[in-house]
Chains A and B, each alone.
Chain A
Amino acid sequence: MSAQDVCDLPGIVARWHHDPANLVQILREVQDSCGTIPSDTLDRLAKLLDVPRVRIESTASFYAFFHAESHGAYEILFSDNIIDRMAGKEALKQYFCERLWLEPRKLSEDGLVYVDDTADIGLADQAPAMLVNGYAIPSLDKARLDLVAELIRARKPLAEWPPMLFEIPDNLRKPGPLTGEAFAPGAALKAALSRGAETTLAEIDASNLRGRGGAGFKTAVKWASCRKAEGEAHYVVCNADEGEPGTFKDRVLLASHADLVFEGMTVCARVIGARQGLLYLRGEYRNLLEKLKSVLAGRREAGLLGRNILGEQGFDFDIEIHLGAGAYICGEESALIESLEGKPGKPRNRPPFPDRCGYRNQPTVVNNVETFACAAKIAEKGGAWFASLGTPQSAGSKLISISGDCKRPGVYEYPFGVSVRQILIDCGAEDAHAVQVSGPSGTCISFREFDRRIAFEDLATAGAFMVFSRERDMFEVARNFTHFFAHESCGFCTPCRVGTSLLRNIMDKLAAGKGSAYDMNEMKHIMHVLRGTAHCGLGHTAANPVVQTMEKFPDAYEKRLKRLDFEPAFDLDGALQTARLITGRDDEWAHLDND
């Protein structure tokens, strides 16, 4: 069946204003309605959008969630963060495949179901988890997988599956200024409007708010620069592409505090003079889309979005939601903008930065979900209030997503400056041996460093906090992360495109017990090249997990080294297997002793 038969292409394209900049959204809808993006669809889209086919194909082939071949009626993607693995994901996946007589990455013979892995889906507190046709199911165990298998066998449409499968609790364990108090929609905007744009910006400045995505750039500086920049239009973009493995605090903010986030965006719009805002929601959070849309609708009704907001003449602003399609790199702000413009998510050359040249090459503020939530609170309660929280260099509170070996995984809101040790006590991680702070691209700290603090001046973090007990193998943690980076490298620059795959292959070699000191040096060498020459943060940090675990947990590596000197790059005996099968030989000369 061709896509034409099941998919209303002209309708989809019209819904997205015939604008090629909306290509990722168009492709998402095509994929949603017909299950694949077939080759002939690319041609038809090229005609409908009046752009070269090659451009459509570039985008369609970049994102992990788009595929040209059928994945059946049910596409099952198991989240493959190390936390999922620690929670038994591999065995459960195998169990599930056996129940349905399946092989991973192979469409079932009846064309019904397809099983594969995907990068962390933002549910590390409820691991293992999976996506079914893009919708998340948390806390997998055999009973839940049995139920899923039955529903698939019965060919029940997803809409008729028991809603309890898709229920995702917030797991908010420690509320704080952002998450603990009720927020009356409009409160921040009213305060901002009565203060005026300039004074509101001054309050943001006085609050010392720094970006919550990890880099910690001062928010007021970004807003002021964008406000000053000349352009045909100004844009507010909320980065909800929470892709860093182990991070899920934005999931909770969006699920239960969306008004706060949208209000922060609207305050920003007032300050920089924007009429349009975009929320870039990672594809894995598809389940939040309808709810977010209804929050937006509610805000329009309440006069908090749309024309003449809160009666202020000429204050027009609205927010559109764009869904991602499985690309971690789109969390990088300029890659996110490329994706919003319908292109593959490859980071731009900077400068210029988005504050001057962002979405559609116009001045754009890109901030994290949590940053906008903070901004709304600051607009409501003032900069001094916010600055009094946390430490002098790291004002305010920070949402931490805790997962792994602890009794109470979930979201915790702390004032900045809290020690790792305190967090470990609070979440019930008595046996903690290591913590990966801020995800694979962040910092791995050992039990010797638990007095370090969460703050920009010590451990900067986007929010992930993965706990590993004494029993965990830190080599396997690092290996999982190298696979992640190799999968997520956009492929633009040489060092990251090639280096991340080289690293992954060497880690796999070590895992197979065929490593040597040569390989260890090789990884350090690759890390050096990545750090110095890669195009963006992904490449700069891609080798961090390996280098840091090598340094802090050398035993995890040393026990795997077969020799100190050198080991072949490939499995010598294994590489003869095909020829043995072809010739039927099994004599002494048909084997190579790998020693």
Chain B
Amino acid sequence: MTEPKKLKVATCSLAGCFGCHMSLLDIDEKLFELVKVVEFDRSPITDIKHCGPCDIGIVEGGVCNAENVHVLKEFRRNCRILVAMGACAITGGIPAWRNNVDLWDCFQEVYSYGIGLENGQIPNDPELPLPFDKVHPINEVVRIDYFLPGCPPPADAIWKFLTDLAAGREPKLDYDMLHYD
């Protein structure tokens, strides 16, 4: 008998805090069960830098800069199913609070007037991701197949969601697993 083919999963965090990834790790001992059916591609867990062809891509965080778009589009190109995980990916979340702050004021605050800065200068290094006027949820940039809300989504919800998907079921969250905070 051959082992059933493992699902290939990639994850990343864009304009997020990695809290959703922490929640993913928070499924604790079930991680052992998870890795029986799942193999990780690009993810903070593996340190693979670029996403290859995957069954499921899970994206944490919203889109706040040009680099986020490159990563997100790479995920969309390579993942059969793309999942928005957590409040920031779904609504922009806390980072979107800056959406009504003038971008010039943001730069000034960070690079010119911030506490402890001397001779502050706004950098023009191409290696720095260039920010957008506003932070956007990822479904405003690419097509998203599933949304898993929460800040972060509870570990149980992530587990339920992934195991549903792995089993080919339409993911369904119980009332206790669905919340936005």
Contact = CB atoms under 8 A, between A and B. Distances in A.
Interface stretch (B22-30, B41-49, B128-136, B149-157): B128-136
Contacts of A572: 69, 141
Given A578-B103, A582-B107, A589-B130, A565 B124 contact: no
Range of interface residues on chain B?
20 to 34
A499 B125 CA distance: 42
Interface string B107-139: 100000000000000111011011111101000
Nearest to A574: B133
A576 B140 contact: no
A568 interface: yes
A580 B69 contact: no
Contacts of B127: 589
Interface in A552-595: 565-566, 568-570, 572, 575-580, 582-585, 587-592
Contacts of B129: 589
A492 interface: no
A588 B66 contact: no
A16 interface: no
Contact of A583 (B123, B132, B133, B140): B123
Contact of B143 (A566, A583, A585, A589): A566
Q: How large is the interface on A (under 10, 10 to 19, 20 to 34, 35 or more residues)?
A: 20 to 34
A494 to B, nearest CB: 18
A570 B135 CA distance: 11
Name, among B107, B126, B127, the residue most crowded by chain A CB atoms within 10 Å (CB to CB): B126
A80 B107 CA distance: 40
A583 B122 contact: yes
Contacts of A588: 126
Contacts of B131: 576, 579
Contacts of B142: 566, 568
A577 B104 CA distance: 12
Nearest to A581: B104
Nearest to B129: A589
Contacts of A582: 103-104, 107, 122
Q: Which of B104, B132, B134, B143 has the most CB of A within 10 A?
A: B132
A84 B86 CA distance: 48
B140 A584 contact: no
A568 B134 CA distance: 14
Given A575-B133, A578-B133, A589 B140 contact: no
Contact of B134 (A566, A575, A589): A575
Contacts of B141: 568-569, 572
A518 interface: yes
A580 B126 contact: no
B143 A590 contact: no
A579 B143 contact: no
Interface string A330-351: 0000000000000000000000
9 contacts: A566-B143, A576-B132, A578-B103, A580-B130, A583-B130, A585-B126, A588-B126, A589-B67, A591-B66
Interface of B: 66-67, 69, 103-104, 107, 122-124, 126-127, 129-134, 136, 140-143
8 tightest A-B CB contacts, nearest first: A569-B140, A587-B126, A566-B143, A575-B132, A583-B124, A589-B126, A579-B130, A578-B103
Interface of A: 518, 565-566, 568-570, 572, 575-580, 582-585, 587-592
Given A577-B133, A579-B130, A580-B130, 10 more contacts: A565-B143, A575-B134, A576-B66, A576-B130, A578-B104, A579-B132, A585-B126, A589-B67, A589-B126, A590-B126
